[in-house]
Amino acid sequence: MKKEVRKAVIAGNWKMNKTPKEAVELINEIKPLVKDATCDVVVCVPFVCLDAAVKACEGTNIKVGAENMHFEKSGAFTGEISADMLKAVGTEYVVLGHSERRQYFGETDETVNKKVLAALSNGLKPILCVGETLKDRENTITNELVAMQTKIALLDVSEKDLENVIIAYEPVWAIGTGKTATSDQADEVNGVIRNVIKEVYGEVAAEKITIQYGGSMNASNCDELLSKVNVDGGLIGGASLKAADFATIVNAACK
Protein backbone atom coordinates (compact mmCIF):
# COMPACT_ATOMS: atom_id res chain seq x y z
CA MET A 1 0.00 0.00 0.00
CA LYS A 2 1.37 3.38 -0.99
CA LYS A 3 0.28 6.18 1.28
CA GLU A 4 1.64 8.85 -1.11
CA VAL A 5 -1.16 8.21 -3.62
CA ARG A 6 -3.74 9.45 -1.14
CA LYS A 7 -4.47 12.97 -0.01
CA ALA A 8 -4.54 13.38 3.75
CA VAL A 9 -7.70 15.02 5.03
CA ILE A 10 -8.00 16.60 8.46
CA ALA A 11 -11.58 17.42 9.36
CA GLY A 12 -12.85 19.06 12.50
CA ASN A 13 -16.20 17.82 13.78
CA TRP A 14 -17.42 20.62 15.99
CA LYS A 15 -20.49 18.65 17.16
CA MET A 16 -23.02 20.81 19.08
CA ASN A 17 -20.64 23.69 19.71
CA LYS A 18 -20.40 27.31 18.52
CA THR A 19 -22.88 29.95 17.43
CA PRO A 20 -22.40 31.49 13.95
CA LYS A 21 -20.45 34.41 15.45
CA GLU A 22 -18.20 32.08 17.44
CA ALA A 23 -17.73 29.92 14.36
CA VAL A 24 -16.41 32.87 12.37
CA GLU A 25 -14.07 33.78 15.23
CA LEU A 26 -12.64 30.27 15.38
CA ILE A 27 -12.25 30.04 11.59
CA ASN A 28 -10.47 33.39 11.56
CA GLU A 29 -8.05 32.04 14.17
CA ILE A 30 -7.46 28.82 12.21
CA LYS A 31 -6.98 30.45 8.78
CA PRO A 32 -3.45 31.83 9.13
CA LEU A 33 -2.25 28.72 10.97
CA VAL A 34 -3.18 26.29 8.17
CA LYS A 35 -2.78 28.50 5.09
CA ASP A 36 0.23 26.55 3.78
CA ALA A 37 -1.25 23.11 4.41
CA THR A 38 -0.74 20.62 1.60
CA CYS A 39 -3.43 18.31 2.98
CA ASP A 40 -7.16 19.02 2.78
CA VAL A 41 -8.62 20.94 5.71
CA VAL A 42 -12.33 20.74 6.53
CA VAL A 43 -14.45 22.15 9.33
CA CYS A 44 -17.77 20.38 9.92
CA VAL A 45 -20.05 22.75 11.79
CA PRO A 46 -23.63 22.92 13.14
CA PHE A 47 -26.31 23.66 10.52
CA VAL A 48 -26.89 27.22 11.73
CA CYS A 49 -23.17 28.01 11.33
CA LEU A 50 -22.84 26.72 7.75
CA ASP A 51 -23.65 29.94 5.95
CA ALA A 52 -21.33 32.06 8.10
CA ALA A 53 -18.58 29.40 7.95
CA VAL A 54 -18.72 29.17 4.15
CA LYS A 55 -18.41 32.95 3.89
CA ALA A 56 -15.56 33.05 6.41
CA CYS A 57 -13.69 30.34 4.46
CA GLU A 58 -14.09 31.97 1.04
CA GLY A 59 -10.74 32.40 -0.68
CA THR A 60 -8.97 30.13 1.83
CA ASN A 61 -7.92 26.47 1.75
CA ILE A 62 -10.51 25.53 4.39
CA LYS A 63 -13.58 23.63 3.21
CA VAL A 64 -16.87 23.43 5.07
CA GLY A 65 -18.95 20.40 5.97
CA ALA A 66 -22.20 19.63 7.79
CA GLU A 67 -22.52 17.05 10.55
CA ASN A 68 -25.61 15.21 9.30
CA MET A 69 -28.40 15.39 6.71
CA HIS A 70 -31.64 13.64 5.79
CA PHE A 71 -31.76 11.29 2.80
CA GLU A 72 -35.04 12.57 1.36
CA LYS A 73 -35.12 15.52 -1.02
CA SER A 74 -37.90 17.43 0.73
CA GLY A 75 -41.20 16.91 2.49
CA ALA A 76 -42.78 16.30 5.87
CA PHE A 77 -39.65 15.61 7.94
CA THR A 78 -39.86 18.16 10.73
CA GLY A 79 -36.48 19.36 11.90
CA GLU A 80 -34.51 17.74 9.10
CA ILE A 81 -32.14 19.21 6.49
CA SER A 82 -31.72 17.91 2.93
CA ALA A 83 -28.67 17.63 0.70
CA ASP A 84 -30.11 20.38 -1.54
CA MET A 85 -30.27 22.74 1.41
CA LEU A 86 -26.67 21.99 2.36
CA LYS A 87 -25.52 22.56 -1.22
CA ALA A 88 -27.46 25.82 -1.44
CA VAL A 89 -25.33 27.36 1.31
CA GLY A 90 -22.04 26.13 -0.17
CA THR A 91 -21.43 23.02 1.94
CA GLU A 92 -18.95 20.56 0.38
CA TYR A 93 -18.72 17.71 2.91
CA VAL A 94 -21.11 15.97 5.26
CA VAL A 95 -20.35 13.69 8.21
CA LEU A 96 -22.63 10.63 8.01
CA GLY A 97 -23.20 7.76 10.41
CA HIS A 98 -21.33 9.29 13.31
CA SER A 99 -21.60 7.00 16.35
CA GLU A 100 -23.38 9.75 18.30
CA ARG A 101 -26.08 9.77 15.62
CA ARG A 102 -26.26 5.97 15.69
CA GLN A 103 -26.36 5.91 19.50
CA TYR A 104 -28.71 8.81 20.31
CA PHE A 105 -30.74 9.32 17.13
CA GLY A 106 -31.45 5.80 15.95
CA GLU A 107 -29.35 5.79 12.79
CA THR A 108 -28.81 2.37 11.32
CA ASP A 109 -26.48 1.00 8.65
CA GLU A 110 -29.45 1.16 6.26
CA THR A 111 -30.26 4.84 6.88
CA VAL A 112 -26.57 5.68 6.68
CA ASN A 113 -26.49 3.97 3.27
CA LYS A 114 -29.47 6.05 2.09
CA LYS A 115 -27.75 9.20 3.29
CA VAL A 116 -24.47 8.31 1.57
CA LEU A 117 -26.32 7.75 -1.72
CA ALA A 118 -28.30 10.99 -1.37
CA ALA A 119 -25.18 12.99 -0.53
CA LEU A 120 -23.25 11.64 -3.52
CA SER A 121 -26.07 12.16 -5.97
CA ASN A 122 -26.23 15.80 -4.85
CA GLY A 123 -22.49 16.40 -5.16
CA LEU A 124 -21.68 16.35 -1.44
CA LYS A 125 -18.66 14.43 -0.16
CA PRO A 126 -19.61 12.08 2.67
CA ILE A 127 -17.28 11.48 5.60
CA LEU A 128 -18.65 8.07 6.51
CA CYS A 129 -18.06 7.06 10.12
CA VAL A 130 -17.73 3.47 11.27
CA GLY A 131 -16.47 2.00 14.52
CA GLU A 132 -17.02 -0.47 17.32
CA THR A 133 -18.08 -0.06 20.95
CA LEU A 134 -15.91 -1.27 23.82
CA LYS A 135 -18.20 -4.31 24.18
CA ASP A 136 -17.72 -5.15 20.49
CA ARG A 137 -13.95 -4.92 20.93
CA GLU A 138 -14.04 -7.09 24.05
CA ASN A 139 -16.14 -9.61 22.14
CA THR A 140 -13.44 -9.57 19.41
CA ILE A 141 -15.90 -8.64 16.67
CA THR A 142 -14.31 -5.30 15.77
CA ASN A 143 -13.05 -6.29 12.35
CA GLU A 144 -16.23 -8.07 11.28
CA LEU A 145 -18.45 -5.28 12.57
CA VAL A 146 -16.50 -2.47 10.94
CA ALA A 147 -16.34 -4.44 7.67
CA MET A 148 -20.10 -4.91 7.76
CA GLN A 149 -20.80 -1.24 8.57
CA THR A 150 -18.57 -0.22 5.66
CA LYS A 151 -20.12 -2.65 3.19
CA ILE A 152 -23.72 -1.74 4.03
CA ALA A 153 -23.05 2.01 4.02
CA LEU A 154 -21.57 1.73 0.53
CA LEU A 155 -24.22 -0.52 -1.06
CA ASP A 156 -24.99 0.74 -4.61
CA VAL A 157 -22.20 3.34 -4.51
CA SER A 158 -20.38 3.24 -7.85
CA GLU A 159 -16.60 3.10 -8.17
CA LYS A 160 -16.70 6.60 -9.66
CA ASP A 161 -18.72 7.97 -6.75
CA LEU A 162 -16.46 6.24 -4.26
CA GLU A 163 -13.77 8.76 -5.24
CA ASN A 164 -15.78 11.37 -3.33
CA VAL A 165 -16.14 9.28 -0.18
CA ILE A 166 -13.92 9.58 2.88
CA ILE A 167 -14.18 6.90 5.55
CA ALA A 168 -13.46 7.67 9.19
CA TYR A 169 -12.72 4.85 11.60
CA GLU A 170 -13.88 6.04 14.99
CA PRO A 171 -13.83 3.51 17.82
CA VAL A 172 -16.75 4.57 20.02
CA TRP A 173 -14.77 3.93 23.21
CA ALA A 174 -12.15 6.45 22.11
CA ILE A 175 -14.53 9.33 21.35
CA GLY A 176 -14.37 12.18 23.84
CA THR A 177 -12.89 9.86 26.45
CA GLY A 178 -9.24 10.76 26.16
CA LYS A 179 -8.62 7.07 25.39
CA THR A 180 -7.00 6.88 21.99
CA ALA A 181 -6.65 3.71 19.99
CA THR A 182 -2.98 2.85 19.75
CA SER A 183 -1.51 3.68 16.38
CA ASP A 184 -1.29 -0.07 15.69
CA GLN A 185 -4.98 -0.58 16.53
CA ALA A 186 -5.94 2.33 14.26
CA ASP A 187 -3.72 1.06 11.47
CA GLU A 188 -5.11 -2.47 11.78
CA VAL A 189 -8.78 -1.48 11.56
CA ASN A 190 -8.13 1.09 8.83
CA GLY A 191 -6.42 -1.76 6.99
CA VAL A 192 -9.50 -3.94 7.44
CA ILE A 193 -11.61 -1.17 5.91
CA ARG A 194 -9.17 -0.82 3.01
CA ASN A 195 -9.42 -4.57 2.40
CA VAL A 196 -13.21 -4.31 2.25
CA ILE A 197 -12.82 -1.62 -0.41
CA LYS A 198 -10.40 -3.86 -2.27
CA GLU A 199 -12.80 -6.78 -2.11
CA VAL A 200 -15.75 -4.73 -3.40
CA TYR A 201 -14.10 -2.20 -5.74
CA GLY A 202 -10.63 -3.58 -6.46
CA GLU A 203 -7.05 -2.66 -5.71
CA VAL A 204 -6.93 0.76 -7.38
CA ALA A 205 -9.93 2.08 -5.46
CA ALA A 206 -8.51 0.65 -2.22
CA GLU A 207 -5.18 2.42 -2.79
CA LYS A 208 -6.90 5.73 -3.47
CA ILE A 209 -9.51 6.00 -0.73
CA THR A 210 -8.81 8.28 2.22
CA ILE A 211 -9.40 6.53 5.54
CA GLN A 212 -9.17 8.73 8.62
CA TYR A 213 -8.86 7.88 12.28
CA GLY A 214 -11.00 9.69 14.86
CA GLY A 215 -11.23 9.38 18.64
CA SER A 216 -9.28 11.63 21.01
CA MET A 217 -6.76 12.53 18.33
CA ASN A 218 -4.91 15.58 19.58
CA ALA A 219 -1.81 17.72 19.15
CA SER A 220 0.31 15.26 21.17
CA ASN A 221 -0.67 11.93 19.64
CA CYS A 222 -1.33 12.97 16.02
CA ASP A 223 2.22 12.43 14.74
CA GLU A 224 2.25 8.81 15.85
CA LEU A 225 -1.25 8.03 14.52
CA LEU A 226 -0.70 9.80 11.20
CA SER A 227 2.61 8.01 10.65
CA LYS A 228 0.75 4.76 10.02
CA VAL A 229 0.40 3.62 6.43
CA ASN A 230 -3.37 3.15 6.61
CA VAL A 231 -4.16 6.35 8.52
CA ASP A 232 -4.77 9.09 5.94
CA GLY A 233 -5.91 11.86 8.21
CA GLY A 234 -8.17 12.50 11.14
CA LEU A 235 -11.69 13.38 12.16
CA ILE A 236 -11.14 15.58 15.17
CA GLY A 237 -13.70 16.42 17.85
CA GLY A 238 -12.55 18.26 20.98
CA ALA A 239 -9.15 19.33 19.64
CA SER A 240 -10.77 20.93 16.57
CA LEU A 241 -12.31 23.59 18.81
CA LYS A 242 -8.87 24.96 19.68
CA ALA A 243 -7.25 26.70 16.72
CA ALA A 244 -3.65 25.97 17.74
CA ASP A 245 -4.29 22.28 18.43
CA PHE A 246 -6.26 21.81 15.22
CA ALA A 247 -3.49 23.51 13.23
CA THR A 248 -0.86 21.29 14.85
CA ILE A 249 -2.79 18.23 13.66
CA VAL A 250 -3.26 19.71 10.15
CA ASN A 251 0.42 20.46 9.87
CA ALA A 252 1.35 16.98 11.15
CA ALA A 253 -0.72 15.48 8.33
CA CYS A 254 1.17 17.53 5.76
CA LYS A 255 4.60 16.15 6.64
Which residues make up the interface to ligand 13P (CB under 6 A)? 13, 98, 170, 175-176, 214-217, 235-239
The smaller minimum CB distance to ligand 13P, of residues 126 and 238, is found at 238
* Annotation says 170 is catalytic: yes
168 phi/psi in degrees, rounded to 5: -120, 120
The smaller minimum CB distance to ligand 13P, of residues 98 and 115, is found at 98
The smaller minimum CB distance to ligand 13P, of residues 12 and 206, is found at 12
Query: In 3D, which of 91, 6, 15 has the Cα closest to residue 50?
Result: 91
Strands (E), the chain: 9-13, 40-44, 62-66, 93-96, 125-130, 166-169, 210-213, 233-236
Closest contact distance (angstroms) between CB of 67 and ligand 13P is: 9
Identify whether the C-beta of residue 79 lies closer than 8 Å to the C-beta of residue 48.
no
The smaller minimum CB distance to ligand 13P, of residues 46 and 215, is found at 215
Q: What is the CA radius of gyration of the chain?
A: 17
Identify whether the C-beta of residue 234 lies closer than 8 Å to the C-beta of residue 11.
yes
Closest contact distance (angstroms) between CB of 124 and ligand 13P is: 17
SS (H, E, C) 29-70: HHHHHHCCCCCEEEEECCHHHHHHHHHHHCCCCEEEEECCCC
Q: Are strands 210-213 and 9-13 parallel, antiparallel or unpaired?
A: unpaired
DSSP 239: G
The smaller minimum CB distance to ligand 13P, of residues 38 and 177, is found at 177
Closest contact distance (angstroms) between CB of 127 and ligand 13P is: 8
Closest contact distance (angstroms) between CB of 214 and ligand 13P is: 4
* Annotation says 199 is catalytic: no
Catalytic residue of the set 67, 70, 98, 132 = 98
Closest contact distance (angstroms) between CB of 47 and ligand 13P is: 16
Angle at the Cα of 188 (from 186 to 192), degrees rounded to 5?
115
Q: Cβ–Cβ contacts within 10 Å for residue 238, how many?
A: 18
237 phi/psi in degrees, rounded to 5: -90, -100
- Which positions are annotated as active-site residues? 98, 170
